[in-house]
Structure 1
């Protein structure tokens, strides 16, 4: 399908997304409270909406909210939705005296149930005690309750989310925010933790759940099972497997792959790659999970050799799971007032926890990887409007990447030590790809294995006599070439799809603003017609293109 896309779509500037306002009718019939209303999906919308549907007892929620601050329910003046995303819905509860609080309710589809809320509550308390500004938790409930949904009540942070203004900040303003971010991360890297896993109040874990007490908490806090979604996605939550906590970094590396092996053996079956745009690369054939099993077995053989010899690189560290502008609150003078959304937080060995946060990194850019101070092109002033916009965006990405690294080098020595490891990025990449749920795609992990084998002399620790053991994995040159061709094709598809999504004004899952839905849907229909016309001389390719068109409704499980 990339043959079609590459001819159809020119580069385009991205659009901004924002929430929409609900009508009084929506509020009266409960749609505003229980249904997702902040946007639309141009394909598979019924499934996305069902995932985000959450009915609950409003009266009981308000009773619980008032009780959490020792107030009568009659003190509540208003209750309305202010935000919703992929995992939670957030409501504002305002009192007659002008004070207010937030109620955060996870959808029923948000996993792991009980543990996600329990871990976030404990993590918020833990990091706050170590000087990280976060909302104070006023009350919470996991499991069954009168509300009919799990919830967290928390204080409202002062300031505003920086997400709406991040792209408009000047260089100096970005300096100020990035410096504060790195200083806060430096605090996290100094906290001593006993194992990898997720943080919980001991009282919230059942007696039989593996746990390790956090020193200095008097048994109140502990490290328990990993709360990351990938451990519980699909039927993975039903598996009887080791989910941590782990003191040994070798187990941290191996057990996610062993989890995925257990899932494939119990539930795996041939399927198409989840991303439909990838399917042409594989000749529209379902992929056999046995091939992924082979890659996971290869990874497990490599995993013990990925553990650094330096003990400080193996120290467990907690980081924010999604440190990006929408989760950063600032005051008028750009001082950070709080970090929100600690759901699915993990404690991992330093060499795996390290890395520039996704929204700040620019790893795909050679100039950023060389740690060179960014500059605008010499011919910037003579460029046309679109070229200048593209050059400015490239400069911004390089700027953020460079100064995040620079501040980390100066302020956060443990993190910098991990970042400057030559093979650190490759180790984190293969760990993440081996940990990801299998959805019909094996190429990423296969390429990681190739790169590890090619860089074996830099990865494998030397023995006392300075000899390096042989790589336990052998990949033939012919197989290397096959994997490389596949990987390059998928990278082209990714680039094409990014351009298409910008043209349509949608996110990668088809989401768009309510007011842009009809135009996005119509443009998608036009693009489909153009795409089918481009392959009209090949009946089989036309049929496959039509069946697997990435912007039509589909069965996501086949």
Structure 2
């Protein structure tokens, strides 16, 4: 048995204290403390739970929390788990005077180990000093103290996250929140940063780790390696590669693709696309990483041409990594009281950092992309209930998109200027796809290369002699048509999977609430029966469908 579990069940006074605190909130057993209990997965659940299983010394955590506010553990009133996300578990440690400390512990699967915590702590301190409302860090560890795990201790922000209430706000309430978010983003865009990378305290970086000192910093803040998961996913953490920081935008663009090339050379092997629903499109054939390596080399050839000639578009900018309703705290009158969850934050050149948060953007809608003021249909009042609900939702999305852009134009000129660049979205997409960990899918980067070649005259900078350099890659029309058809097929699969996930009531990774789990499993079983019956007359296709069914347990490494 794990030694931490033994400590929690032993009769000594310190451990009995921790257990009694846990018991105050029905968390007396180690399962509740150390295991994920906030939902279920309808497939590969053992793996998801193992990724989130974290044993730690609860007594030491409480001691660290009390010490962080110059208190004794006897001042602690309760200790309870309050949240579990994709990367972290959060505990509330309430004091007898009514104050609270939040302890956030990343799962063992959260990467990069040590650096993710170290970077978030430094980022929180940095943005807080520049007027961004974020939790104040009271203490932290990168895993080398008595707690036996990484953690961050933070003050509890006033207010509460908007969460699902966002969809019920009035127009004026929604506008109030959007404006405040844009104003906070404007502060981020105006911060002076020396390079791209992630923010750290120099003391938390190992000797020899590349870093660039932050100008004017008196407490050792610096730019260090990128803390984003994609740089460390799988065996990528074992690679001896350039992870930043980078002062040159060209290096920013090229390094992620070089990282993937290094991984392919060291670890790449043919595999099925990770998204099992895609596999029929590829005739259930494993995909060759050498094909992706060719696309990465093509990308590296065009990358220098993606750098804007306007130097302002290359200035380093810090953005919130996951700006969505659960990470925005507001008061009762919808004043923004804080932004949480800065884990995996990145600093990138403005042209790559720019972009509308997915929470606000509505790019799939033609009216939104044309920046037209939204209006409800003239016959809205006479519509039936279902049509009215659809029209209301369409208006809400257009409303957010339009006013996010409008407020950005008004108060955040650097961001607005970057958003106005005609090929900005394409540059950001190909940069993102070139750096994404390869998991058996070559199509996204291949299609990006098609779009870049088709828009080369808009992308390439004019040379001093007035000419445009030739595109470094050449694609035959037959190859373009092949890639386009494949991309369209995969988009159809995406739409179908989104529809089925909606019917099942699960997220894209199979997660659902504890309450809906049994119903989701039963629905998945029925859909499976229907799917296999539909191909019952084709033995090979039935065998492949059964072997690669999207909602069964499966080996994620094949």
TM-score of Structure 1 vs Structure 2, range by shorter chain: over 0.9
CA-CA distance at 1:144 after TM superposition = 2.0
Deviation digits for residues 492-546 of structure 1 (CA, Å, limit 9, x no counterpart)? 1111111111111111111111000000100110111111111112111111111
Task: Name the structure 2 match of 1:400.
Answer: 400
Is residue 554 from structure 1 mapped to residue 518 from structure 2 by the alignment? no
CA-CA distance at 1:390 after TM superposition = 2.6
Cα distance, 1:23–1:545 mapped onto 2, change above 3 Å: farther
Task: Name the structure 2 match of 1:424.
Answer: 424
CA-CA distance at 1:384 after TM superposition = 3.7
The 5 A counterparts of 1:9-408 are 27-218=27-218, 220-408=220-408
Cα distance, 1:378–1:541 mapped onto 2, change above 3 Å: farther
CA-CA distance at 1:391 after TM superposition = 2.5
Cα distance, 1:309–1:35 mapped onto 2, change above 3 Å: same
Gaps of 5+ in 1: 1-21
Cα distance, 1:412–1:37 mapped onto 2, change above 3 Å: same
Cα distance in structure 1, aligned partners of 2:400 and 2:23 = 39
Cα distance in structure 1, aligned partners of 2:51 and 2:376 = 44
Higher RCO (CA-CA < 8 Å; seq separation 6+):
1
The 5 A counterparts of 1:407-556 are 407-556=407-556
**1:213–1:219: 8 Å Cα contact kept in structure 2?**
no
Question: RMSD of aligned C-alpha atoms?
Answer: 1.3
Cα distance in structure 1, aligned partners of 2:330 and 2:29 = 35
Cα distance in structure 2, aligned partners of 1:442 and 1:383 = 45
Cα distance in structure 1, aligned partners of 2:444 and 2:402 = 26
Task: Name the structure 2 match of 1:7.
Answer: none
Task: Name the structure 2 match of 1:8.
Answer: none
Cα distance, 1:24–1:129 mapped onto 2, change above 3 Å: closer
**2:24–2:78: 8 Å Cα contact kept in structure 1?**
no
Cα distance, 1:338–1:378 mapped onto 2, change above 3 Å: same
Cα distance in structure 1, aligned partners of 2:406 and 2:327 = 22
CA-CA distance at 1:369 after TM superposition = 1.2
Cα distance in structure 2, aligned partners of 1:204 and 1:175 = 40
Cα distance in structure 2, aligned partners of 1:37 and 1:504 = 20
CA-CA distance at 1:283 after TM superposition = 0.7
CA-CA distance at 1:24 after TM superposition = 8.4
CA-CA distance at 1:93 after TM superposition = 0.2
TM-score, L = length of structure 2: 0.95
Q: Which moved more, 1:355-364 or 1:120-129?
A: 355-364
Cα distance, 1:454–1:285 mapped onto 2, change above 3 Å: same
Deviation digits for residues 273-329 of structure 1 (CA, Å, limit 9, x no counterpart)? 000111111111100000000000000000000000000000000010001110000
Cα distance, 1:521–1:24 mapped onto 2, change above 3 Å: farther
Q: Which moved more, 1:375-384 or 1:288-297?
A: 375-384
SS of the aligned residue for 1:89 comes to strand
**2:143–2:151: 8 Å Cα contact kept in structure 1?**
no
CA-CA distance at 1:375 after TM superposition = 2.2
Cα distance in structure 2, aligned partners of 1:272 and 1:484 = 20
Cα distance, 1:382–1:276 mapped onto 2, change above 3 Å: farther
TM-score, L = length of structure 1: 0.95
CA-CA distance at 1:371 after TM superposition = 1.1
SS of the aligned residue for 1:432 comes to helix
SS of the aligned residue for 1:81 comes to strand
SS of the aligned residue for 1:280 comes to coil
SS of the aligned residue for 2:404 comes to helix
SS of the aligned residue for 1:240 comes to coil
Aligned length: 537
CA-CA distance at 1:330 after TM superposition = 0.1
Cα distance in structure 2, aligned partners of 1:26 and 1:433 = 45
Cα distance, 1:25–1:126 mapped onto 2, change above 3 Å: closer
Cα distance in structure 2, aligned partners of 1:445 and 1:378 = 42
Gaps of 5+ in 2: 1-21
SS of the aligned residue for 1:441 comes to coil
Cα distance, 1:131–1:47 mapped onto 2, change above 3 Å: same
SS of the aligned residue for 1:27 comes to coil
Deviation digits for residues 165-188 of structure 1 (CA, Å, limit 9, x no counterpart)? 111111111110000000000000
Cα distance in structure 2, aligned partners of 1:400 and 1:182 = 12
